[in-house]
Amino acid sequence: MRSIYPFALGVLGVVPGVLGWGAAGHEIIATIAEIYLHPTVMPTICAILDEDAKPCHLASIATWADRVRWQMRWSAPLHYVGAVDDHPSDHCVFPGERGWKGRANMNVLGAIRNVSGILEDWVEARESKYVGNGRASVSGEGDPTAAEALKFLVHFIGDMHMPLHLTGRERGGNGVKVTFDGRATNLHSVWDNFLIAQRIRSIPYNYTRPLPSREVEAVLQDAIYDPYIRRVVWEGLAEGGRWQDELNGWLDCPATPGKNTAVKTWREVLLGATLSQLIFGSGTAEETDDDVLCPYHWAKPIHELNCELVWPKALDENLSHTEVHHHDCGSHVSPEEEVAWLDGARATPKPHEPYLELDTPEYAGVVRKEWVVERLVAMAGVRLAGTLNWLFADLPDEKVQRRPALWTAVQL
């Protein structure tokens, strides 16, 4: 098994209606990941997507899985996982004695494992095809099944880093009304959209200008969130940043002996199996994790944030339920339109709707001060880059197998 670890740091360092992060959040994660990719990876990705003739960026496919949920209804439960016994903020279990909510054996952890396996099989088939000819030429290799798996992978790794996608209580917070800056919304939307939009609006002026880093600037697209990404990279991920001491551990995976991911082979895909038949797996460490890719291990501490911060105890004292009419920012609008929508007229709750206000120093203030959302999107970006580098980096086998002694972080 090839190591996921060296390359991500080598280039820098069923709940219908649930969206994991909004459009901006998913595109931010994808863009951070692209900054970290080994130089040989994007040509292969663009060839799989058959996008050689136009600008090709990971951000362009980051929200695809949300846009197609209504056409691919089988994919809906693959965006989240929730434990039956989980009940933040009182207690958080992952998954607990009674296992997961939703459809049996279908959740975001198992889906990450399996779409990665589909892409790994594609790489092996491609290497067999080019044996003796090297891997230099990747043009004309667009493949619908591999492209679909790749788009799911980019999106699902983002979903896994949104804490409310890891708890089943009240449909991941969709079923609980709150207010944010005086506007009635729900807890899930606060984390999907409002916290990021608020940070994008308040970005310091010095991050609105290009910075002296080709690795960063080359992947930015003049999007509304570009200054936000610059700040996350320079203050969080670069040398001397706030996550410098923990960054190396973000890709660590404890070995799980006896893992059985039950991923079908690429040959079976070619023989006619559909992707919907291939994405399964219960989402426990024994079935999803190894020493390279470990979605359960990565997700567990993110899930704990639901009890530590995301689901405040005061919310149960002011609990208000609502029929969810979740806006589909991630499905139908751009990040610019999403932030503009969030900047629209405030909707003041009626007097008989005592929703808990979350834009307070005790809640949103702590999230901002501790850079909680920024850390989550940065971590998702690094792990997505690591996964894609593990799958697609074109390097001799002996270098692929080694730990990162041959790789040092670019000093930005």
The DSSP 8-state label assigned to residue 166 in this structure reads G
Question: Looking at 234-238, 262-266, 300-304, 306-310, which range is the least confident one?
Answer: 262-266
Count of structural domains within the chain: 1
What is the C-alpha separation between 174 and 82, in angstroms, rounded?
A: 13
Question: pLDDT tens for residues 138-154?
Answer: 444 678 899 999 999 99
Judge whether 218 lies within some domain: yes
Q: Is 28 exposed, middle or buried (0-12, 13-18, 19+ CB in 10 A)?
A: buried
Question: pLDDT tens for residues 77-93?
Answer: 899 999 999 999 999 99
Active-site residues, by number, are 21, 26, 66, 69, 79, 155, 159, 165, 188, 192
pLDDT for residue 209: 81
pLDDT for residue 342: 54
| Edge-to-edge strands, sheet with 356-357 | 183-186, 177-180, 356-357
Question: pLDDT tens for residues 339-385?
Answer: 565 555 445 555 446 789 999 999 999 999 999 999 999 999 999 99
What is the C-alpha separation between 210 and 404, in angstroms, rounded?
A: 30
Confidence of residue 215 (pLDDT cuts 50, 70, 90): confident
Contacts of 405 (CB under 8 A, 6+ apart): none
Judge whether 321 lies within some domain: no
pLDDT for residue 126: 83
Judge whether 203 lies within some domain: yes
pLDDT for residue 185: 94
Judge whether 267 lies within some domain: no
Question: Looking at 20-24, 114-118, 176-180, which range is the least confident one?
Answer: 20-24
Instruction: Specify whether the CB–CB gap between 311 and 187 falls below 8 A.
Output: yes
Confidence of residue 334 (pLDDT cuts 50, 70, 90): low
Overall average pLDDT of the 41-62 stretch:
87
What is the C-alpha separation between 22 and 371, in angstroms, rounded?
A: 18
Question: pLDDT tens for residues 237-250?
Answer: 988 899 989 988 99
pLDDT for residue 340: 60
Judge whether 327 lies within some domain: no
Confidence of residue 336 (pLDDT cuts 50, 70, 90): low
Instruction: Residue 302: give the domain boundaries.
Output: 23-255+275-316+352-405
Q: Which of 409, 388, 395, 398 is nearest to 4 (CA)?
A: 388
CATH code assigned at 249: 1.10.575.10
User: What's the pTM value of the predicted model, to 2 decimals?
Assistant: 0.82
pLDDT for residue 13: 36
Judge whether 346 lies within some domain: no
Judge whether 1 lies within some domain: no
pLDDT for residue 72: 84
Question: pLDDT tens for residues 218-235?
Answer: 899 889 999 999 999 999
Judge whether 411 lies within some domain: no
